[in-house]
Structure 1
Amino acid sequence: MTETSPAPETSPAPETSPEVTGTRAGRPRIPFDRRLAAAVQKVTGQALGPYQSAIVRIGFSLTWLLFLLREWPHRLELYGPDGPWSWDMGRQLIADNRSFTALMWSDGRLWFEIVYGLAVLSAVLLLLGWHTRAVSVVFMAGVLSLQNRSIFMGDGGDNVVHLVAIYLVLTRCAQVWSLDARRAARGRAGLGPAGPVLWTVLGGFLLAATWFSGVTGEWWLFVLLWVLWLGNALWWLVCRFAPGEPRTLLDVLANLAHNATLAVIMAEVCLVYATAGWYKVQGSRWQDGTALYFPLQLDYFTPWPALSDLLGGSGAMVLLLTYGTVIVQVAFPFTLFNRKVKNVLLVAMMLEHAGIALLLGLPFFSLAMIAADSVFLPTAFLVWLGARAARGRDRLLRRTPPAAEAGLPGQSRTGDGAGTRTLVG
C-alpha cells in the first residue's frame, strides 16, 4: 500500500451569478434582458439631459426675446396691420395651409399689441424658468402666431425657433437653472396660488380661443392644447391628493415624453447639418472652394465692408473656410460615436455660426443654431459653466459666503444652480 501525497490546496471556484454569463476582455457579459431592463429603467426613471434641455430653453427664449425687442419699432410693419402682407392676404394663405396664428382672430391694432406683448412676456418668463409648463405653452403660441402671420419674414433661424418652441412644451426643461428649480429645492414646488391661477386663466382663454378656432381651422392645435391643459390639471390634482403610485406613473410618462423629445431635437440638428452639407457638396461653387466669396460681395450681407473685403481678398482663407464648412457639416452626425471628436466639431460649428453673425449680419440665425447645437454640449462643461455663473452672480450681489467660494463645482448656496437635479418643469 503506497502512501499518497495530499492533494494541493486550491482556492474555491468563484460562484457565478446566474445573471452574468461568459466574459468579454476579462469583464462579465451581462445578458441582453438585463441590459434592456436597465435601459428601460433609465429612460423611464429620470428626465435625461437636465443641463442640455435647460441650455436649449435659455438659448431659444433669449434668441426670440432679443429678436422681438430688436424689431419692436418695426413690429407693425413686420407682423401687424401696417405690413405689406395684409391681414386679408394672410387669411387666404392660412386658409390653405391650416396653420395657427392668433393674429387672424382680429385685425385690430389693440389685439396685435396684446399678442406681441404676451410673446415678449412669455419669452422673459421662459428664460427665467417661472412655471415653465404653462409658460412654454404661451411661448409656443406666441412664436406660432407671429411667424405664421407673415411667413416671409425670417432668415432661416426662425424655422428652428418655430420647431423647438413646439418641442419645449413636451420637455422638463426647468430641472436646473430656473426659478422652478429654486422653488423645488426649497420644498415649495406646487405651493402658492400662482400656479392654479395661471392655469385657470389659461383655461378660460383656451375656451374662448376654441370658439374662434373655426376662423382658420387649426383644430389639431386646439386638440393638443386641451390635452396639455387637462394633463396638467390632472398632474396638479394627483400631486395634491394622490402622491403615491399615480404620481409615479405621471412621472414616468413625463420622463418618456421628455426623453423622446430630446432625442428628436438631437436627430433634427443632425438632419439639418447632414442635408445642408450634402446639398453643398453638389454645388459647383462649393466644389471649387469659392462659395464663401460671393455673399461677401453683397451689400445686404456685409455689415462690416472692410472686414468682408479683407477676408474675400484672401483666396486661401476663402478656400479653407468653404471646404471646412462642408467637411464639418457632413461629418458631424458621424462624430456622435466619438465624444472627443464630437466636441471638437461642436466648437468648430459654434465658431462658424459666430462668424456668420459677425461677417454676414445674421445674429438671430446664428443664435438659434448655437442654441440648437447646445443640446450636444457635455454635462461636465455645463456643470462647470453653471457653477462659474452662480459664483459670478453671488459676487456681483456681494452675498457669497466663504464656504461657497471653496465649494465643489456644481454646488450653489441657494440650491438653484448647477447642482440641483429636482425633476420639475
Structure 2
Amino acid sequence: MQEAAGLSAAITIEPEQHPEEAAASRPLARRAFDCVLSVPAWLAERRRSVYGLAVARYILGIAALATLLANLPFRYALWGSGAAWMNEYYADNAFTSRWLFSAFEDAQSDSQFTALYVLLIALTVCFTIGLKFRIVTPVMWALYVGLLFMNKPVIGEVGDVAWRIAVMLLWFTDASQVWSVDAMLRRRFARMWPAYAPQGGGLISQCFGRSETLGRTRKPVQMLIDGLAHSMPWFTGWQRATIHNLALATLIVQICWIYFSAGTYKTGEAWVDGTAVYYATQLTEFHTFPWLNGLLGSSAIIVALLTFGSVLVQLFFPALIIHPYSRAVALAGILAFHLGIGILMNILWFSLAMVAIDAALVDDRTYRKLAEKCRALFRRRRA
C-alpha cells in the first residue's frame, strides 16, 4: 500500500494551464519574439479586409466619376481649347509634360480630348464595379491624375492627394475579390469549367504542373481562364496574400500618419481655447448651408466640444485602432469629423477619399453581417 501511495504521488497530473495564462507567464522578450515571428504568418495566411477594400474601391470610384461627370459640360473651358486663361500655369506645370500623365495635354483637337475624356469615364466605371481591376486601375489612375494636374488651381484640392495615394496602393491589393464583376466572372468560370479552377498555385505551377485528367490541354485553357478571371495569376496564393496585406498595411500607416500629423498641427491659440471650429465654419467661401453654420456657431459649448473632439480623435487615432472596441470608437469619431467638414465646409472630395480608406479598417465580419441583413430585408420586401 505504501508503494502504491508513493507511485500515485509521483505521477500526479498537474492541472492544464489556459493558453492565455501560459502566454502571459512567458518572459516578455519571448512574447515579443513570438509576435515578430507571427508577422510573416499574418501576412501570408490570407488576404485581409477584402470587403473593406471593396467598399473603398466603390467610394473612390464614385468620387472620381462624380468629378468627371460634373465637369463634362465645361471640359473645354477647364482643360481644352477654351482654357487659354490657364496658359501661364501650363508654362510652369512640368508634371503633365511627363509621358505618363501627358495624354490629355497631347490631344491635338477637341474631338481627341473628348474621346480621351469619355474613355476615362468608362475606365472609372470599370474600376468602380471591379471589372478587370488589375488592368484598368493603372491606366485610369494615370489619365485621371494627368487631367487634374492640367488645371490644379481650380479643380485640384487636398482630397486629390489622398485619392492618388489610395488608388495607387489599392492596385497592389485584391480589391476586386468580392462585390465585383471580377468575382462574378470567377464564380461563373468555376461553374462552367470546374476542372480548370485554380488549385492554389499560380499561373506557372498550374500550367506546367502534372494533371492526369487534363493532360496537355490544361496549359492553354488554364492560361486563358487565369488571364480573364483571376487577379495576379503569376503569383502563388501566399505571395498574392503577402502583397495584398503589405499594401493594406501601408495604406493604414499612411492614413494614421495623416491623422496624427493633422492632430499635432492643431496647436494654435484657437485650438487651445476651443474656438477654432467657429472661425473655420464662418468662412463664407466654404459655406454649403449658411444657416447650418450659423446655427452651429451660436452655441459655445458645441463649438468647444467639436474643436477638442476633432483634435483628440485625430491625435489618438493610430492608438485607438489597435483594439477592436476602441477602433469602433475611433472610426465613429473620424466619420463624424469627415461628415462635418464635408457638409459644413464643402470639403467633400477629401472627406470621401479619407472615408474610403477608413472603410478598410472595418472588420470583414461586420460587412458580411451587414450584407446578410440587407439580403434578408430585401427578401422580406419581395415576399
* TM-score, normalised by the number of residues in structure 1: 0.71
Within the candidate set 241, 253, 277, 1:267 is matched to 253
1:285 alignment partner in structure 2: 270
Relative to 1, partners in 2 of residues 1:253 and 1:108: Cα closer, same or farther, differing over 3 Å? farther
Cα distance in 2, alignment partners of residues 345 and 179 from structure 1: 32
Within the candidate set 238, 241, 262, 2:219 is matched to 241
Aligned residues of 1:87 and 1:107 also touching (Cα < 8 A): no
| 3-state DSSP of counterpart to 2:5 | coil
1:321 alignment partner in structure 2: 306
1:7 alignment partner in structure 2: 5
Aligned residues of 1:56 and 1:375 also touching (Cα < 8 A): yes
Cα deviation, 1:336-364, whole Å, max 9, x if unaligned, reads 22221121121111011112222122222
Q: How much does 1:325 deviate?
A: 0.7
| 3-state DSSP of counterpart to 1:186 | helix
5 Å-filtered alignment, 1:13-412, equals: 23-25=22-24, 39-83=39-83, 86=86, 89-90=89-90, 92-94=92-94, 98=98, 100-152=101-153, 153-188=155-190, 241=219, 249-281=235-267, 283-391=268-376, 398=382
Relative to 1, partners in 2 of residues 1:247 and 1:88: Cα closer, same or farther, differing over 3 Å? same
Aligned residues of 1:60 and 1:371 also touching (Cα < 8 A): yes
Q: How much does 1:236 deviate?
A: 11
Aligned residues of 1:101 and 1:144 also touching (Cα < 8 A): no
Cα distance in 1, alignment partners of residues 79 and 332 from structure 2: 35
Q: How much does 1:84 deviate?
A: 5.4
Aligned residues of 1:58 and 1:127 also touching (Cα < 8 A): yes
Cα distance in 1, alignment partners of residues 203 and 68 from structure 2: 31
Cα deviation, 1:77-97, whole Å, max 9, x if unaligned, reads 333332356367426412698
| 3-state DSSP of counterpart to 1:294 | helix
Residue identity opposite 1:121 in structure 2: A
Residue identity opposite 1:149 in structure 2: M
Cα distance in 2, alignment partners of residues 275 and 132 from structure 1: 32
Cα distance in 1, alignment partners of residues 324 and 300 from structure 2: 33
| 3-state DSSP of counterpart to 1:6 | helix
Relative to 1, partners in 2 of residues 1:4 and 1:154: Cα closer, same or farther, differing over 3 Å? closer
2:227 alignment partner in structure 1: none
Residue-pair matches, total: 350
Bigger proportion of residues as helix? 2
Relative to 1, partners in 2 of residues 1:279 and 1:355: Cα closer, same or farther, differing over 3 Å? same
Percent of aligned positions that are identical: 27
Cα distance in 2, alignment partners of residues 258 and 143 from structure 1: 24
Cα deviation, 1:358-402, whole Å, max 9, x if unaligned, reads 212222222112112112112222112222344456667x5x8xx
Q: How much does 1:275 deviate?
A: 0.9
Structure 2 runs not aligned, ≥5 long: 194-201, 210-217, 224-231
Aligned residues of 2:203 and 2:234 also touching (Cα < 8 A): no
Cα distance in 1, alignment partners of residues 339 and 45 from structure 2: 37
Residue identity opposite 2:345 in structure 1: L
Q: How much does 1:267 deviate?
A: 0.6
Aligned residues of 2:49 and 2:363 also touching (Cα < 8 A): no
Cα deviation, 1:301-345, whole Å, max 9, x if unaligned, reads 122111111111212211111111111110111112222112112
Aligned residues of 1:143 and 1:162 also touching (Cα < 8 A): no
Relative to 1, partners in 2 of residues 1:169 and 1:317: Cα closer, same or farther, differing over 3 Å? same
Aligned residues of 2:44 and 2:239 also touching (Cα < 8 A): yes
Cα deviation, 1:245-275, whole Å, max 9, x if unaligned, reads x968443333222111111110110011011
Cα distance in 1, alignment partners of residues 76 and 206 from structure 2: 39
Q: How much does 1:101 deviate?
A: 3.4
* TM-score, normalised by the number of residues in structure 2: 0.78
| 3-state DSSP of counterpart to 1:316 | helix
Residue identity opposite 2:55 in structure 1: I
Cα distance in 2, alignment partners of residues 302 and 95 from structure 1: 32
Aligned residues of 2:321 and 2:330 also touching (Cα < 8 A): no
Residue identity opposite 2:249 in structure 1: A
Aligned residues of 1:122 and 1:139 also touching (Cα < 8 A): yes
Aligned residues of 2:55 and 2:356 also touching (Cα < 8 A): yes
Structure 1 runs not aligned, ≥5 long: 192-231, 401-425
Cα distance in 1, alignment partners of residues 257 and 96 from structure 2: 28
Relative to 1, partners in 2 of residues 1:35 and 1:89: Cα closer, same or farther, differing over 3 Å? closer
Cα distance in 2, alignment partners of residues 85 and 180 from structure 1: 43
Q: How much does 1:63 deviate?
A: 1.4
